Structures are given as structure tokens and as C-alpha cells.
Chains A and B, each alone.
Chain A
Amino acid sequence: GAVVSQHPSWVICKSGTSVKIECRSLDFQATTMFWYRQFPKQSLMLMATSNEGSKATYEQGVEKDKFLINHASLTLSTLTVTSAHPEDSSFYICSAKGLGLPFGAEQYFGPGTRLTVT
């Protein structure tokens, strides 16, 4: 149980285009989803927290107009990187927490999306 999927697993796009990444909870309802970014040899950095049906809460330094997050249902959250630039190239990982999962702060991670902007 507690499986989270992400799509696509990798994507290459040209500078200036937008890329949408999907995060799905497959066997539970995700009341909260988290989006992280990880640069090579660096720690995971939380970008934003999204609760189903409400606006995402962004961490300091993360541009909300550049990284659009939508959590319209209990099983799907999307992250859209708008007008992507090479410095946005990174490993984007979502995680989910929700109904029916163990209490506490445990989160279940998707397999990640590797974005390369050329």
C-alpha cells in the first residue's frame, strides 16, 4: 500500500517552454502532497505544500508564478514549471500523506521526475 506515482519519469524540454509533472496516489487519498527539488549531490529541498482543494503554500524563495501547483483531487497533484530555463534542470519529487496512512509525519515518495532544460 501507499504507492505514489509520477509522470513523466524524465523529460527534456527547450528553454522557454512549460512542463507539467503529475503526482498520483494510487491506493490512498492524499490530503496533502509535497513537492521537492533535488540538485546533484544536494539535499531534497521542499518547494511547496499542497492541500486538496486549496492553494499551495510555497517555501521562501520559490516563485509561485513559475512553479504552478494544482491539487484538484485527493489522488492527483500537478506541478507546472513555466518558462523553464536550464537552471530549472533538477530532480523533482513529490510525496503524499493522507487518509488511511500511519499517523505522524511519514510521507510516501513518488519515483521522481528528472527535468533537463536545454
Chain B
Amino acid sequence: RKEVEQDPGPFNVPEGATVAFNCTYSNSASQSFFWYRQDCRKEPKLLMSVYSSGNEDGRFTAQLNRASQYISLLIRDSKLSDSATYLCVVNPLGSNYKLTFGKGTLLTVNP
């Protein structure tokens, strides 16, 4: 089982749609969780951290289920500018802050 596994995608949605990304991780001792976005040929940029109680930032909502080792990201009212690859990222306990990246899910929002 891969350490971090994401929906393979790609996702193509119209503007205004709601889209959800799913991610599972294998290391139950993981302690920090993030969603990053990566535009084509660019570096990853932190979108949001994921907290146990779930958290929201504008149109973006992240959820964490430790029992199921599952993380999700919901984007509401998607914009053209949301088109990017979304990376699920996990920091295992005791890893000295190393991050483990999922392969990413490509999202294209169409006009």
C-alpha cells in the first residue's frame, strides 16, 4: 500500500461546481496533514493544513478522519483559477518533519 494515495483523476468540472478530493494514508502515527496545490511546472504551494476537527477557508473545506486514515478536500463554487494539481501531504510522527506527498489529482475547471 502506498504511503499516501489519492484519487487518480483527472477531474474536469464546470465553473461553479463542487468538487471533492479524497486521500488515504498508511502510517497511523502520522501527525500533520496538508493540502498543497501545484500549478504546471511550478513548486507546490500550501493550500491549507488539515486539523482533526475539520477546517474551512473560504470555499475550501478540509476534513480528517484519523480512524479511517482518510483526508478530504472540498472545493465549492469552483473557479477557473482553481485548475491545478492538488497534493495530499502527510507528516509521519518521528520523521523529523519529513513530508510524504501523494501523486496528486489534476483538476481542470472549464468555463
A residues touching B (Cβ–Cβ < 8 Å)? 32, 34, 42-46, 49, 91, 93, 95, 97, 104-112, 114
A45–B89 alpha-carbon span in the complex (Å): 12
A46–B97 alpha-carbon span in the complex (Å): 12
Kindly provide the distance from the CB of B103 to the nearest chain A CB, expressed in whole angstroms: 4
Instruction: Tell me the nearest residue of chain B to A106, going by C-beta.
Output: B46
User: Please, which residues of chain B bring their CB within 8 A of the CB of A49?
Assistant: 96, 98
Q: Which of B43-102 contact A (CB under 8 A)?
A: 43-46, 49, 87, 91, 96-102
B residues touching A (Cβ–Cβ < 8 Å)? 31-32, 34, 41-46, 49, 87, 91, 96-104
User: Please, which residues of chain A bring their CB within 8 A of the CB of B46?
Assistant: 106, 108
Instruction: Tell me the nearest residue of chain A to B92, going by C-beta.
Output: A105
Ordered by A's residue number, 23 sampled pairs between the chains whose C-beta atoms are within 8 Å are A34-B99, A43-B101, A43-B104, A44-B44, A44-B101, A45-B101, A46-B98, A49-B98, A91-B41, A97-B97, A104-B32, A104-B91, A105-B31, A105-B32, A105-B91, A105-B97, A106-B46, A107-B99, A109-B44, A110-B43, A111-B42, A112-B42, A112-B43
A34–B100 alpha-carbon span in the complex (Å): 12
Residue contact A104 to B49, C-beta cutoff 8 Å: yes
Residue contact B99 to A46, C-beta cutoff 8 Å: yes
A109 interface neighbour in B43, B96, B100, Cβ under 8 Å: B43
User: Please, which residues of chain A bring their CB within 8 A of the CB of B34?
Assistant: 105-106
Kindly provide the distance from the CB of A72 to the nearest chain B CB, expressed in whole angstroms: 20
A46–B102 alpha-carbon span in the complex (Å): 12
User: Please, which residues of chain B bring their CB within 8 A of the CB of A43?
Assistant: 87, 101-104
Instruction: Tell me the nearest residue of chain A to B4, going by C-beta.
Output: A43
User: Please, which residues of chain B bring their CB within 8 A of the CB of A108?
Assistant: 46
A109–B104 alpha-carbon span in the complex (Å): 17
User: Please, which residues of chain B bring their CB within 8 A of the CB of A91?
Assistant: 41
Kindly provide the distance from the CB of B53 to the nearest chain A CB, expressed in whole angstroms: 16
Kindly provide the distance from the CB of B61 to the nearest chain A CB, expressed in whole angstroms: 19
